[in-house]
Amino acid sequence: MTEKEKMLAGEMYDPMDPELVEGRLNARLLFQKINLTEDDEKPRRDALFYELMGEAGPNLWIEPPFYCDYGYNIKLGKQVFMNFNCCILDVAEVKIGNNVMFAPNVQIYTATHPLEAEARNSGREFAKPITIGDNVWLGGGAILCPGVTLGNNVVVGAGAVVTKSFEDDVFIAGNPAKVIRTIEN
């Protein structure tokens, strides 16, 4: 397997592999262009976002600045809104459903490292995919950790650190995030 194939399979891989370094560089060049666009250049900005993302449905709206590792591992549904300063470490697939809203400073992390010092110091890493259902709202400063799945209609409170998966129709908050209450939909 190539290092990229290992990365996408959730296995330990070398992030300094030339193919992966080039992929991150390509993403950075695109999001740097995006982040430098003016508000009156929204059509150009949108075209660059559609070029950056692996998949993106209609009515995508992302406020710069935006940051990611590769971009091609991000799959977005229709009517996705991300406010300022979103960061997605898309080492594994990040799947975001329809009608999803991100407040400012939302962080999505698929990348992770071994807990054992010797393995961690090897420079190798791995990732776990993240899935966000339809009609989800992520509050300001929310962090989603590797491997998390959020069901449909979930609301994540501002500043929450989501370390585990949650089913549909719940409001979660805290560090670590827990169910605050059920939402009637």
- Strand-pairing partners, residue 94, are 74, 130
Q: Is 113 labeled as catalytic in the residue annotation?
A: yes
Contact between 180 and 172 (Cβ < 8 Å): yes
Nearest to 142 by CA among 98, 164, 175: 175
Q: DSSP for 81-98?
A: EE-SSEEEE-SS-EEE-S
- Cα pseudo-dihedral 57, 45, 92, 26, rounded to 10: 140
Of the listed 4, 113, 124, 128, which one is catalytic? Answer: 113
Burial of residue 52 (CB within 10 Å: 0-12, 13-18, 19+) is buried
Can you tell me which residue has the tokens 């979103």? 86
Active site residues: 113
